Chains A and B, each alone.
Chain A
Amino acid sequence: LKLFTTLRDDLQGNVTAIKGPGGKWMIPPDAKESMDQSKIGLKGPLKTPIAAGHPSMNLLLRKTFDLYANVRPCVSIEGYKTPYTDVNLVTIRENTEGEYSGIEHVIVDGVVQSIKLITEDASRRIAEYAFEYARNNQRSSVTAVHKANIMRMSDGLFLRKCREVAETYKDIKFTEMYLDTVCLNMVQDPTQFDVLVMPNLYGDILSDLCAGLIGGLGVTPSGNIGANGVAIFESVHGTAPDIAGLDMANPTALLLSAVMMLRHMGLHEYGKKIETACFDTIRDKKVLTKDLGGNSKCSEFTADICRRVVDMD
């Protein structure tokens, strides 16, 4: 937040940080109202206590605002070395149904069934979002990831919807690939992928796989797009209670999510400034937080980025 105040602020102060309420089955009404008004949110990690009696906060947010698309752009960060360079892809994951529908039954003692739900509407919606995203962000191809050879009807339906939507977006190349082939090729040559669209479970696995390619959850931004134009951008790492309050955390993930948010709002200029400043700081390696390999404090890291932003003006 400190960073935003160093910019010339045109944002009308509609950035709301959402905190978890105490044990109610819904988001507190004032937070919800604020979100409905502003339509955009930025969120840090939310802790779900085990056996708290209420569903996970993240799940609650997702349901309340119908956040159907999870977008995770994975771009290699210069200066943070991983065995994979030149990664530049986006994973778009259907966020509401699929394997995570949570419908499970014990049929007889010792036999459990989990239901994976795929619906036409959700598949069409996510496919449309994926192609829109590709178009708006100058991406050349969209790849649908599936396992229709085994799950013929469910992933078959997902594929059919993707194909239908692809017909209306002739300028974007559409391919389909099996999940295992994607995994195999991803770890050998991630440059061959551009935008990936997939149902919930595959999306979960693949987006984390891609995050691992660029350096982990500490540097990966993420956005959740909902119906009615709502969008919540968040960092996907954990709450890290062991370093909370110690000024040791790495704010990169949240910062890059904020950059995504600015881009979503159309404020590309600001987004670019912050992003460049952030990457420059990491590339310079002078003030890095502990997890990036340095031993500076979080505030020093942020101060350096602020300084660069100011210098750019």
Chain B
Amino acid sequence: MTLRAALCALSRAVRPGGCGGLPLSRTLQVCGATIHASHPRQGSTYTPPPARYGGRHTVTLIPGDGIGPELANHVRELFWFCCVPVDFELVNVDSSLTAEDDINNAIMSIRRNGVALKGNLETNHNLPPSYKSRNNLLRTSLDLYANVMHCQSLPGVKTRHRNIDIMIIRENTEGEYSSLEHESVPGVVECLKIITRVNSLRIADFAFQTARQNGRRRITAVHKANIMKLGDGLFLECCKEVASGYPDIAFDTLIVDNATMQLVSRPQQFDMMLMPNLYGNVVSNVCAGLVGGPGLVPGANHGEHYALFEAGTRNTGRSIANRNSANPTAMLLASCLLLDHLKLPAYAHMIRRATLSTVTETRMHTADLGGQASTSDVIKSIRNAIQSTGPLTQSI
């Protein structure tokens, strides 16, 4: 630990910005090229997060509440089993405390390591407004402006709709989640929804670049600009501006209520969807429900310098905590996204393949998918899958 601390101190001295060794340029221009250069995940300018010593990455792990701790343990054990060169720095955040020390420690740890994996942190909504949502604090402090969720129908999972493949990009820091509220007159509360040009352009550009990287042909922006003319109007305007710089990708818009209606009747028509914060919350949960539930879909939160991976629908699962019945798929797939981000594709591929085969081929399903398997059964099945086809692993 001392060595690591010394190394951190050294790295901070060398790079006074203290952030992930990447160009700190924040100038945002509309055309793809300029932003491309400062984008952390692009081509030859990309280097993996800095917390890497002796070929091993250090990743912050925040177990969270509910089913979080048990799933975090499973991830850790699986990584150990597969000899993944990742060391987890465990940071516990106690969401029942009102002081913000815990979450500040977590934020500092993520700034140090550049990347994190987390479970959901419970927010007691009966506490006064001074107690902010811990998850939201993380996202805004680290400026994780893009939330990416990829919802895909999996063969072997029984759902009402088939062949769904939707990628959802959701603005993660502003909009309705600005937490700016006041009681102007007793009994009258105002809540501010903030939309800015800078953030809208940023998220739109992120979406179009991601679309290009993943071969997506069409982006649908979801909004309510017929009612919120200025706010969502600005968002739409920014999206259209960015869209003009990407002629190879089709762009259309849809009002949010119509979008949800279309999603439940014909979800196959959507390719990629882009939207502000609250609609993103609704749409991503609808899509997750359509493909099989909260236990299957991982989510990624990207910022310019940091990345945070978690289960897509951000549920604590308090009612099924510690019963060995939670579905580990979402968390494991999130850890695969983490490995992709760390440029360890071989490990990511190995774990992902094993996890998906357990769901689709072996059909070892937990209760949320209608099966009777326990979490440990599923994990065991994944380990077997890895052992039988994968490289050397630890002995079981």
Contact = CB atoms under 8 A, between A and B. Distances in A.
Interface in B272-294: 278-279, 281-282, 284-286, 288-290, 293-294
A118 B265 CA distance: 32
A100 B231 CA distance: 12
Contacts of A248: none
A208 B222 CA distance: 14
A117 B181 CA distance: 10
Given A114-B228, A149-B133, A153-B129, A184 B285 contact: yes
A106 B187 contact: no
A102 B227 CA distance: 7
Nearest to B258: A208
Contacts of A17: none
Interface in A127-184: 146-157, 159, 179-181, 183-184
A193 B252 CA distance: 33
Interface string B205-244: 0000000000000000000100111110110000000000
Nearest to B292: A188
Contact of A119 (B188, B234, B314): B188
A150 B265 contact: no
B191 A118 contact: yes
A85 to B, nearest CB: 10
Nearest to A118: B189
Given A113-B231, A119-B188, A205-B260, A184 B313 contact: yes
B191 A151 contact: yes
B289 A212 contact: no
B231 A104 contact: yes
B100 to A, nearest CB: 15
Contacts of B224: 201, 204
Given A115-B191, A118-B191, A150 B177 contact: yes
Nearest to A111: B196
B12 interface: no
Given A187-B290, A212-B264, A116 B187 contact: no
B294 A116 contact: no
Contact of A84 (B160, B260, B279, B282): B160
Contact of A152 (B181, B190, B234, B293): B181
Interface residues of B, number: 61
Interface string B289-321: 110011000000000000000000111000000
B176 interface: yes
Interface in A197-234: 201, 204-205, 207-209, 211-213, 215-217
Contacts of B197: 109-111
A155 B179 CA distance: 12
Interface string A72-113: 000000000011100000000000000110101110011111
Given A150-B177, A184-B294, A184-B313, A112 B264 contact: no
A30 interface: no
A14 interface: no
Contacts of B260: 183, 205, 208-209, 212
Given A82-B265, A213-B264, A121 B288 contact: no
A11 B294 CA distance: 50
A47 B13 CA distance: 65
Contacts of A159: 125
A152 B180 CA distance: 10
A188 B293 contact: yes
B103 interface: no
B286 A187 contact: yes
Given A116-B176, A153-B189, 18 more contacts: A84-B160, A99-B176, A111-B197, A113-B193, A114-B192, A114-B195, A117-B188, A147-B278, A150-B177, A152-B128, A152-B179, A156-B129, A159-B125, A183-B289, A207-B257, A209-B263, A209-B286, A211-B261
5 contacts: A109-B197, A149-B133, A156-B126, A188-B293, A208-B261
A-B pairs, top 3 by smallest CB distance, nearest first, are A212-B261, A110-B197, A208-B257
Interface of B: 123, 125-129, 131, 133, 136, 160-161, 176-177, 179, 181-183, 187-198, 224, 227-231, 233-234, 256-258, 260-265, 278-279, 281-282, 284-286, 288-290, 293-294, 313-315
Interface of A: 82-84, 99-100, 102, 104-106, 109-121, 146-157, 159, 179-181, 183-188, 201, 204-205, 207-209, 211-213, 215-217
